[in-house]
Amino acid sequence: MIPVLSAFFFVGQRCSRHVANSFRTAILTVPDAQNCSVTKPLIRSLSNWASTFGYAGEPAASSGTRHAVGLFGRPELTRPEDWQRLADETEDRCDMLLAEVLDTAPEDGVEVVALIDEMSDQLCRTYDAAECCRNVHSDPRWRAAAGKVCVQLGEYISRVNHHEGMYQRLSGALAAYESSLAALEKRETPRLGPRQLAGWCRESVMVAHKLKQDMEQAGVHLSSESHRARVAELAAANGHFGAAFNTALTDPSKVGRVRIALGRSASLEPSNVAALMVSEPDEQVRKKIYMAAGKSPACNQHLLEDMVATRWELARVQGYPSYAALRMAGGSLARTPGAVVAFLEQLAADVRPMAEQELQALRRLKAASSDPSPSGATIHAWDVEYYAARARQLLITSQPSAVLRYTVVPSVLTGIRHLLWRVFRMEWRISEAAPGEGWAPGVLRCEVEHPELGPLGVVYLDLGDRPGKYPTAVTFPITCGREVPPTRGGGGRQLPVMALLASASGTCPTTGKPAMSYRELRVLLHELGHCCHNLLSRTKYQHLWGTRCAQDIVEVPSHLFEYFASDPRVMAVLARDRSATAAGADGAMEDGEPLPEGLLKELVAGRSVTAALELQQQLVLSLVDQWMFGEQPPGGPYAEVNASVGTPEGTSARATTISEIWRQGTSPELRVGHLTIYGGAYYGYVYARCLAAQLWRLTGLAEAPLDPVAGNLVRERLLGPGGSLEPLDLLAGLAIGRAAGTSLGSTSDPAAAAAAAATAAGATPGAVAVAARQRRLEPWQVARLRQRGLDKALASPAEGGFLQALQGGFAPRSEPYLELIRAGRGGA
Ligand SMILES: [Zn+2]
């Protein structure tokens, strides 16, 4: 994609949970029925909770003008009509920035990089905010106005992304810098002067390469005019699939209903289907719903086929063998589809015996059930969730509502504030959003600060339940973080703003207050992982900020955060019954009574009861994704692309439709929204599971999950760099950072300083040279340190290694994650 577009459609923000939910709906899991918002259509407002627990009184730092704040705290957004004006102004500003880019000489190339990043930031500030508003606002007028602006800016972005003049300035700038470095090495006079050379830091080089790559993925570099035009056309078409596909999934008229008995029918909306798959005791009814849901929404069939064909051609015209290869080429850990498929297939073989055991247990449950089934004890697709829920019930002897006493929302928020302070030294100040600042009643505003780093940004929290609320937990970026260039009146940091939507659908049995199920608490932690990644990211450029990192490591922090929910020491902070403590108090960490350890054990075990089956399902999805966006997609014949870019071999016409990959008769892929957003990159979730399982131990969190030293390591090595390090360098840095066994902030430790230098080494020879100069290390020293990190990461699991080299790329080691599943703790 393009500099800006890649930022928009960037995967990290849409978290696994939502799409995974749509998927589960059709095929497998779905947790407790009480999570289903359909079953509780009441409007719940958080307003009172906040004040009851003393948040409302806290100043929101800049509260002097709180009455005047607009949507997301932006004074320019007070009425829906403001979107249009904002979009027009954004285009004007970007036009001016573009003119500046075209006016800049290649010798001042680093300024070109800064200007393009600025442009991308201007566009993202409006587009991301509009995208968020379009999805979350409770007022349809706001949603409509924002949606219109998304289309308008999408078209503008597409034009910018194909701007040849801008591309030439960027490549010229990079070429001038690289030729100067080469000249220096040969002791010749470089083209750039010392000041011009010094302007290029490691991150500038990195972002210049990324921007260039992104523009090339939009085809701007192709020599043939007709190819360029075709790529532009395909890229524009590709931009629409995700929204169309996912909109159909939440449109009751498109998903339809199924008649299940005389006078009884059920909506095929994902959340409803999910709930029924868990709770409906009649197998025939479950089967009917499953089969009907598996063919709905029918309109997604064509959309999916178009998408596969469009993406395949998009890749081919640009000389990539497949769309998956194109996605991985932009800087990923996997690097090649071959590495991904080899990893997935190996893991599938390894997990099969465990999945078989779980299935056996479900079969026994079915055989023993009082309702004799005509299909005997065979477990069908529509049985898995139902019997998995029964298996959980057997393990969990406590009442399902027992946990809700400890997860009342304000108490959980108090716990989260303590957790994030203890581990990351982040101070979360929570207050109610000002009128007009939020998008629905009860939205909370969290201002986050760090004692040394200063203000970190703002997170809006929307935990209320209401009809029409965005169906799954999600984090939307609204403003990105970055350094504001001194030339743009800054010098400080632009603080990020995000929206976190999650749910609390339970009710505390003693106080009647809204509370979270165990699953909802995990999901909240997952989303907080994304938010903290963004809050703690310290990149210079917004294009590399936080979750704008490589597609296959973006879910690692959020999966790591999920482990907090299985640790009794952390849960003793998060889940407490604080109802007896003085109302209005801000809640000390040890106030009230903690969730009993026995209950937590049951909850963790309950979650793990079908962990292998669930992993298997993720593997199937990931493999399907690799196939759909691979060299030989289903359908076809995929051979009529312009011969000048090479004709694929062996593309004989295939009658296979996508659905045949799955089960005959249904098309679960019609409901897997992630396949549109994460096309070719869905494997990132499996990578994240395996990496998080290892990093939980490696960073020291498993030993001491509340330890700020471990937190510091995670902050500096995993979250701070955002996308400013290639994934392999990032992970090598973590390996060597842990080995240094210390807080890496201290440069008095030579090993730590060396490690910092090693990760600073980046991917290009130029960057190594710059890093070496800055750290006063010889290039060979830097290279050796970097190699040491890689050696550690690639060592055997017994020696602490957590990566493997495979087929020209890299994958996590999976043994530790499988070990957790085996031990009944693999629910993460
Ligand atoms: Zn996520």
- pLDDT reported for residue 375: 60
Q: Is 646 exposed, middle or buried (0-12, 13-18, 19+ CB in 10 A)?
A: exposed
How many angstroms is it from 15 CA to the middle of ligand 1? Answer: 3
- Token pair for 55: 């948040």
How many angstroms is it from 14 CA to the middle of ligand 1? Answer: 6
How many angstroms is it from 195 CA to the middle of ligand 1? Answer: 42
Name which residue leads in pLDDT, 3 or 568: 568
Please state which of the ranges 243-247, 332-336, 393-397, 757-761 shows the lowest mean pLDDT. Answer: 757-761
- pLDDT reported for residue 826: 61
Name which residue leads in pLDDT, 397 or 526: 526
- Token pair for 467: 């009809």
* CB-CB contact of 482 with 539 (8 Å): yes
Percent of the chain with pLDDT over 70: 79
- pLDDT reported for residue 721: 95
How many angstroms is it from 17 CA to the middle of ligand 1? Answer: 6
In angstroms, rounded to a whole number, what is the distance separating the alpha carbons of residues 188 and 241? 52
In angstroms, rounded to a whole number, what is the distance separating the alpha carbons of residues 372 and 146? 53
In angstroms, rounded to a whole number, what is the distance separating the alpha carbons of residues 533 and 536? 6
How many angstroms is it from 682 CA to the middle of ligand 1? Answer: 12
- Token pair for 210: 């990324």
In angstroms, rounded to a whole number, what is the distance separating the alpha carbons of residues 749 and 71? 47
Average pLDDT over residues 242-260: 83
Model confidence at 65: pLDDT above 60: no
- Hey, which of 35-49, 134-148, 236-250, 773-787 has the most confident mean pLDDT? 134-148
Number of residues assigned to the chain: 828
**For 703-746, how does the pLDDT look when each residue is reduced to its tens digit (9 = 90+)?**
999 999 999 999 999 999 999 999 999 999 888 876 664 333 33
- pLDDT reported for residue 111: 94
pLDDT confidence of 638, banded at 50, 70, 90? low
Closest residue by Cα to residue 800 from 758, 747, 741, 712: 741
Model confidence at 302: pLDDT above 80: yes
Model confidence at 761: pLDDT above 60: no
- pLDDT reported for residue 494: 95
* CB-CB contact of 118 with 488 (8 Å): yes
Percent of the chain with pLDDT over 90: 53
pLDDT confidence of 60, banded at 50, 70, 90? very low
How many angstroms is it from 23 CA to the middle of ligand 1? Answer: 15
The SS3 call for residue 338 is: helix
* CB-CB contact of 530 with 577 (8 Å): no
How many angstroms is it from 12 CA to the middle of ligand 1? Answer: 6
How many angstroms is it from 678 CA to the middle of ligand 1? Answer: 12
How many angstroms is it from 473 CA to the middle of ligand 1? Answer: 9
User: Residue 788: what residue type?
Assistant: R
State whether the Cα torsion 405-409-415-420 is positive or negative.
Answer: positive
CB atoms under 10 Å from CB of 637, counted, come to 10
CB atoms under 10 Å from CB of 654, counted, come to 14
In angstroms, rounded to a whole number, what is the distance separating the alpha carbons of residues 795 and 225? 48
In angstroms, rounded to a whole number, what is the distance separating the alpha carbons of residues 666 and 257? 16
Model confidence at 271: pLDDT above 70: yes
Model confidence at 752: pLDDT above 60: no
How many angstroms is it from 419 CA to the middle of ligand 1? Answer: 20
How many angstroms is it from 527 CA to the middle of ligand 1? Answer: 6
Q: For 500, what's the count of Cα atoms within 13 Å in the CB-facing half-sphere?
A: 25
- Token pair for 786: 């970097």
Average pLDDT over residues 16-33: 25
pLDDT confidence of 473, banded at 50, 70, 90? very high
Packed helices 384-395 and 270-279: angle between N→C axes, nearest 10 degrees: 60
In angstroms, rounded to a whole number, what is the distance separating the alpha carbons of residues 239 and 748? 49
Tokens 């080995």 identify what position?
Answer: 739
* CB-CB contact of 539 with 484 (8 Å): no
How many angstroms is it from 648 CA to the middle of ligand 1? Answer: 35
The SS3 call for residue 506 is: strand
- pLDDT reported for residue 378: 84
How many angstroms is it from 559 CA to the middle of ligand 1? Answer: 7
Name which residue leads in pLDDT, 299 or 86: 86
Question: 465-496 burial string, b = 16+ CB within 10 Å, else e?
Answer: bbeebbbbbbbbbbbbbbbebeeeeeeebbbb
How many angstroms is it from 675 CA to the middle of ligand 1? Answer: 14
How many angstroms is it from 309 CA to the middle of ligand 1? Answer: 27
Bridge partner residues of 5 (DSSP): none
pLDDT averaged over every residue in the chain: 81
How many angstroms is it from 556 CA to the middle of ligand 1? Answer: 8
Phi, psi for residue 458 in degrees, rounded to 5: -130, 135
Average pLDDT over residues 392-402: 86
- pLDDT reported for residue 518: 94
Average pLDDT over residues 94-99: 96
- pLDDT reported for residue 670: 65
User: Residue 286: what residue type?
Assistant: R
* CB-CB contact of 94 with 155 (8 Å): no
How many angstroms is it from 688 CA to the middle of ligand 1? Answer: 10
The SS3 call for residue 582 is: coil
- pLDDT reported for residue 749: 38
Tokens 């020879």 identify what position?
Answer: 765
- pLDDT reported for residue 21: 26
Q: Is 607 exposed, middle or buried (0-12, 13-18, 19+ CB in 10 A)?
A: buried
In angstroms, rounded to a whole number, what is the distance separating the alpha carbons of residues 620 and 678? 15
pLDDT confidence of 219, banded at 50, 70, 90? confident
> What's 634-697 look like in SS3?
CCCCCCCCCHHHCCCCCCCCCCCCHHHHCCCCCCHHHHCCHHHHCCCCCCHHHHHHHHHHHHHH
- pLDDT reported for residue 316: 92
Q: What angle do CA 750, 751, 756 make, to 5 degrees?
A: 95
State whether the Cα torsion 217-220-221-223 is positive or negative.
Answer: positive
Q: Is 349 exposed, middle or buried (0-12, 13-18, 19+ CB in 10 A)?
A: exposed
In angstroms, rounded to a whole number, what is the distance separating the alpha carbons of residues 702 and 564? 9
- pLDDT reported for residue 636: 63
Model confidence at 62: pLDDT above 70: no
In angstroms, rounded to a whole number, what is the distance separating the alpha carbons of residues 702 and 123? 41
- pLDDT reported for residue 779: 66
Question: 43-64 burial string, b = 16+ CB within 10 Å, else e?
Answer: ebebbebbeebbbbeeebeeee
How many angstroms is it from 9 CA to the middle of ligand 1? Answer: 14
How many angstroms is it from 525 CA to the middle of ligand 1? Answer: 10
How many angstroms is it from 672 CA to the middle of ligand 1? Answer: 15
How many angstroms is it from 451 CA to the middle of ligand 1? Answer: 27
How many angstroms is it from 220 CA to the middle of ligand 1? Answer: 32
Q: Is 580 exposed, middle or buried (0-12, 13-18, 19+ CB in 10 A)?
A: exposed
User: Residue 622: what residue type?
Assistant: S
How many angstroms is it from 557 CA to the middle of ligand 1? Answer: 9
Rg (CA), the chain: 26
In angstroms, rounded to a whole number, what is the distance separating the alpha carbons of residues 459 and 652? 52
How many angstroms is it from 531 CA to the middle of ligand 1? Answer: 10
pLDDT confidence of 20, banded at 50, 70, 90? very low
How many angstroms is it from 634 CA to the middle of ligand 1? Answer: 28
How many angstroms is it from 196 CA to the middle of ligand 1? Answer: 40
How many angstroms is it from 677 CA to the middle of ligand 1? Answer: 13
How many angstroms is it from 474 CA to the middle of ligand 1? Answer: 8
How many angstroms is it from 620 CA to the middle of ligand 1? Answer: 19
pLDDT confidence of 552, banded at 50, 70, 90? very high
Model confidence at 598: pLDDT above 70: yes
How many angstroms is it from 371 CA to the middle of ligand 1? Answer: 39
